[in-house]
Structure 1
């Protein structure tokens, strides 16, 4: 038992980065005693001695109990603390913790981090010039000095390292591909495993889309939570949403990944914004961008700092041979490469393979692909420098994962490697234009110019309305006027009405996109006809906005609809000699149908808002899930809007005609005419609204039809993205995809024109 105690004590001391003399000084236990305990000399460590050593080592409760147990002692358990009172926010935080843990556990498995074992990610403290004072990090009171922290460690200790920091603020620096993103993932999972009720929930936020000059950090965090976890749209007392309440109450621990990916000129303002809050956080960055921000502003208040260190040749020797099969001699294809690295004869390759990113790329290209020999990496003629080696690995990754292996099962979709690379390159360039790393399916249409999008909306709305006009008015005209004349009348009516309605929708769409800068984001709501539950925060505001948009859109469409229907009849049956009457009648029709359509659409779209309820927190766990949820919501909205619009147009027609009867002359609104107008208006407006003013509709007409039609993207777009995720080209980050690494995105974007 003594020997086991000594081994454990020695491991814990080394883990803390102390010598025996340092442990003696901090614990007041003699150096000889510590030496005897570690070497296993016969001795009987007293409980008080073991406690002093445990406190000096600053170990976790579990390690403390293990140390006492190996010494043959049991520490009496402290009485359980009184349970904290439960409230809605605490329950919501616990539920969010379960969702976050499940999501990132699946993501870790998808990234094959444990196959065959995680690559070593180790760190050391950063220069004192990049961190705050030790006393500020240690939260020491005035006049007192904080104990310096031991900040060396490896990937399996990131949670413990963070929890040893009293300020709960940690900066992680590392060059591209050094493992920062994997570290954040491991931190979240480990923190959640040791989290107790009431502690904040670690949530990863990709900083690349943050503009610190456009709003506060808390507002941005809230918006990101609402995007990735739509269930947090539910209202909370004193806050517009549950997400805002969780952020304000300190239930969220921001894990801010990619400080270096902020747009140029925003690093300084971002650091100032972070210093304006007292939020605990973990921040990752490349050293250069973070150092530059500090030089322009100040260090991150209260933050400790660590820097990821390079992989060693021993790490490669332990890892790479285990990623491929043994050959007949008992070795692997990596043996010649590793021998060159050990002998120092491949300096450029050794420098390349110091980051986990490049090692994983090399493993994918050579270990996971039968018949590929990594010895080609030693060819200095083909690869004269480090940059050429890195470009080779980055450029080989996509063709490798899309290459069909002999004898392997056929993939779900048979995309050719060159076409897949071209589509991925287009997506990478699209993200570059948006200056983001987030591949959001609802933003794919923004790759088109605004004028192109407006024209497509006009075209779709025109065709949709014309089809429904022909469906209802054509049979009616044939019955009333005979086959020949009725067919011509119906066709002319549809050809005129369709473009007028399309232009009306295009006008409203253009005002929203060009003037208002609107980006149609996924709905965080579902349509619920029954049940009283939570309708989400900001219901009154959403109702007013939707009703106003409905009135405006309906009025604009009605202004054109009335005169055009009259024009269609005049084209068929001829114009009267007195054209003044035509102009007067057209004006009356404009006012009448404008009021009918506007007053009918406004209340209907407002009512649709009242019938919405937030999605469940567990309902959406991936981008594909968000697409499916939005498709269901939009289709239910159409099923709800169409009959309501039909009835509203019929009823509002009687009301408006009755009020204006005599004021504008003799007006007519028949039952059959009202029914036909309501049917065409309701169906046309319902479907045009779905395609023009919802994220799912824009996804369908732009990303699923127009871009594939022009060869920019595949027809099965969602399947392609999901397949790229399964192959490891993309990763999931909440509701969006991202490329596996920023360097892969940059490489694909740069090489896309070729």
Structure 2
């Protein structure tokens, strides 16, 4: 057969009575991949892909073995006699079939955005000031890497060549390309330069595409921080797709197959994952994570501290399969002697020789290493992180003498030295300097103690949960507040919105429609009852979300687009619209029933209804307002899904741009929902009343003026409550911009503070989120926050009242 593998796969699919689309949905393998395999257009495959297809087709062990075996036999190999053991073709860096059309454009635009982002981040980290610290690497121990014949993808009997895995920062791409499997593990101790090497790898790979394949077909290297990945609940593919959608919302556009561009890029082998921070996974998750990676043949780069990776290897009894492994080496005294004096610009300008000055005595003692103190300091300064901290604390702050680092009384161990450098980093960065206007967020000359306390709170908030996290996302700042407080916040906020809406609409009615006189007590009571019942309804929704484990709000990946083009490129599944309709139906029905009781109680207290009619009146109100509000809210939220379109490419280039886009989206949602719910209630109520007239034994009246007023209350109050309590931007405004500053845990100008911390170098940007410059700094600040008595536990923090005092210690 000319296409025996594809024919066999097609036979299995037909036997299971599945279409290609159904098999794709069941196996999570893209339709285009299945089509290429069945037609023989794909001469390369992945073992994980075949296993997913076999599981979806429910084949037995023998058929599974035959499926993988015949695809292996179909793999192309170099010319030579068939009976001789020859080297197999290495895994290509490009997919078997070059992308075309929208997928090719998406890969190209993603490559440009990734390159711009990391070039900006490299400049921001001052990697080239005055020159990059030398980051060198060597081959890791043999027990931490796969066998050479597996790394080189050799056929049985072939003799592996010697691997040359030594080099430095500028040669990392060449080292990676020398690995046929295209799987590389980078090990090093904390602060040894793994993240800097990952950035350099991405930039160099983007700058110099291979000559053997078209540039448009080369996978785009993307750095993914995996410290918060839970491999027991989320697959690697889902992590990659979700992160791409978070950091590049324009990839939510859908292909002709119905998949998002992010999913199509991952499934089409057009993404080269650079998985940074394997050691940041919880200890119990490292083994399962390594097993999940071993279940794939995906080309990748993985970074980790050595001990944590070695522990995972021992746990699963195997290193990362097919992967070569390199280990970063420490800086030498010669490296420090070449680097540190050139950072001392003041000494050079005052006539010092060769720019030496503040570092003379330190470097001399490090060269001699005649005392335990010099040996300890030399060991500490063996990593770029500690060299950077030392430079910032002593070389860039006048009046500081680094010779104190040799004091064995103050710093008896290496740990004490490192903690001292970490503790002095933030105050050194926040020393007084002239304000600088940058973009929309001006730099502020902040008090170092206050800034450190706020940063410590942010670091402490990241320890919330079982495994903690590293991503400092603006939409998750409110999660540092305990769940009960957040639910109470939703109750009070939605109640206030509904009360204000009731008062405004009723005042309008008294001014232009009602013939009776205004009674302030009745008006206040009506607003209070509406606030109570609607607040309880929205609080129950938030409680249900909390019990289900779902976050209350995530940033929107879409914008509202009203043109035909926007609706076409942003098409969303019907299931999503139905889900929105069901949620709106439930919430609207509860809100309508609650409002009907509030209106009834007010009128009863005002003696507007005879006692004999009370039961029929309250029943009519619930039967009319419940379905009316429910259907209106369901249709309104369902229609919103029809007008959603993916964001532009630059929309999420930074956290603040994502915040700005979400603010605009929330305002647009409010402007659409208020009139939609108001008119929907009036017209929908008319339809509901006409239907109820056929079954109820009493007459139901639905005057248009009253219907519009009721709809306006639901539109203003309900839509505002939803936007402020259940959208990412609304929670950011009410919690991060109001509640947390009131409790003195964050400044009032939170946006400017985060941007200022980023510009000073305390924070870094990774896509749409911030991260602390290094995980060691994050942990130090979090520990100092709890040590100062601010945080009672790692998972909740009530903070001090606005009028109280808060200790300022580190």
TM class by shorter-chain length? Answer: 0.7 to 0.9
Q: Write out aligned runs for 1:113-152 (5 A).
A: 113-152=127-166
Aligned-partner SS, 1:746: helix
Aligned to 2:234: 215
Aligned to 1:364: 392
Task: Give, in angstroms, the shift of residue 562 of structure 1.
Answer: 0.9
Deviation per CA, 1:374-431: give whole Å up to 9, x if none.
Answer: 22222222222211111110000111111114x7769722321111111111111111
Which residue number in structure 2 is paired with residue 512 of structure 1? 545
Q: Is the 8 A contact 1:241 1:537 kept in 2?
A: no
Is contact 1:474–1:487 with CA below 8 Å preserved after alignment?
A: no
Deviation at 1:483, TM superposition (A): 9.2
Give 1:342's aligned residue: 367
Which of 451, 454, 461 lines up with 1:423 in the alignment? 454
Measure the CA separation in 2 of the matches of 1:633 and 1:412. 28
The reply on whether 1:489 has 2:522 as its aligned counterpart is: yes
Cα distance, 1:106–1:192 mapped onto 2, change above 3 Å: same
Aligned match of 1:542: 576
Within the candidate set 746, 750, 769, 1:713 is matched to 746
Count the aligned residue pairs: 670
- For 1:54, the equivalent position in structure 2 comes to none
Whole-angstrom CA distance in 2 between matches of 1:686 and 1:295: 55
Confirm or deny that 1:556 pairs with 2:556.
no
> Hey, what's the Cα distance between the residues in 1 that align with 2:342 and 2:634?
65
Q: Deviations over 1:485-539 (max 9, x none)?
A: 4333322221211222222222122212223533421111000112234453643
1:412 counterpart = 2:429: no
In the alignment, the residues of structure 2 paired with residue 296 and residue 85 of structure 1 have an alpha-carbon distance, to the nearest angstrom, of: 39
Q: Is the 8 A contact 1:739 1:745 kept in 2?
A: yes
Matched residue, 1:301: 321
- CA distance change for structure 1 residues 516 and 597 in 2, over 3 Å: closer, same or farther? farther
Deviation at 1:356, TM superposition (A): 0.3
Q: Does 1:528 align with 2:566?
A: no
What is residue 275 of structure 1 aligned with on the other side? Answer: 294
Structure 1 distance, partners of 2:781, 2:552, is: 26
2:121 equivalent to 1:107: yes
Selected match of 1:462 from 484, 488, 495: 495
Alignment of 1:25-44 (within 5 A): none
Structure 1 runs of 4+ off > 4 angstroms?
407-411, 478-485
Aligned residue among 406, 414, 427 for 1:378: 406
The answer to whether the 8 Å contact 2:435/2:443 transfers is: no
In structure 1, distance between residues paired with 2:550 and 2:144: 39
Q: CA RMSD in A?
A: 1.9
Which residue of structure 1 aligns with residue 250 of structure 2? Answer: 231
Taking structure 2 as the reference length, the TM-score comes to: 0.80
Q: How far apart are 1:98 and its partner, in Å? A: 0.7
Q: CA deviation at 1:570?
A: 2.2
What secondary structure sits across from 2:393 in the alignment? helix
The corresponding residue for 1:265 is 284
Corresponding position of 2:756: 723
Whole-angstrom distance in 1 between the partners of 2:240 and 2:352: 56
CA contact (8 A) 1:558 1:597 kept: yes
Superposition pairs for residues 659-678 of structure 1, below 5 Å?
659-661=691-693, 663-664=695-696, 665-678=698-711
d(CA) in 2 for partners of 1:182, 1:722: 21
Whether 1:644 aligns to 2:664 is no
Contact 1:233 1:537 in 2 (8 A): no
What is the rounded CA distance, in whole Å, between the counterparts of 2:258 and 2:563 in structure 1?
25
Q: Which moved more, 1:166-175 or 1:290-299?
A: 290-299
Deviation at 1:292? 0.9
The structure having more radius of gyration, on CA atoms, is 1
Structure 2 residue matching 1:203: 3-state secondary structure: strand
Q: Compared with structure 1, are the counterparts of its residues 84 and 451 closer, same or farther at alpha carbon in structure 2 (3 Å cutoff)?
A: closer
| Gap runs ≥5 in structure 2 | 1-96, 210-214, 789-810
Q: Does residue 175 of the first structure (1) align with residue 189 of the second (2)? A: yes
Contact 2:556–2:662 (8 Å) recurs in 1: yes
Deviates more, 1:685-694 or 1:506-515: 506-515
Distance of 1:361 and 1:313 partners within structure 2 = 17
Q: CA deviation at 1:235?
A: 1.0
Distance in 1 (CA, whole Å) between partners of 2:509 and 2:730 is 31
The alignment status of 1:702 with 2:702, answered yes or no, reads no
Residue aligning to 1:21:
none
2:630 to 583, 594, 598: 598
The structural deviation recorded for 1:84 is 5.6
Q: Which moved more, 1:532-541 or 1:144-153?
A: 532-541
Q: 1: distance between equivalents of 2:358 and 2:435?
A: 21
Alignment of 1:9-158 (within 5 A): 86-158=100-172
The equivalent residue for 1:498 is 531
Q: Distance in 1 between matches of 2:263 and 2:279?
A: 26
Q: Any gaps of 5 or more consecutive residues in structure 1?
A: 1-82
**TM alignment of 1:192-211, pairs within 5 A:** 192-195=206-209, 196-211=215-230
Contact 2:436–2:443 (Cα < 8 Å) also in 1: no
Correspondence for 1:321 among 328, 338, 341? 341
Deviation digits for residues 53-110 of structure 1 (CA, Å, limit 9, x no counterpart): xxxxxxxxxxxxxxxxxxxxxxxxxxxxxx9673332221111111111111111111
The match for 1:634 is 666
CA distance in 2, matches of 1:110, 1:353: 22
TM-score, reference length from structure 1: 0.86
Shift of 1:453: 0.8
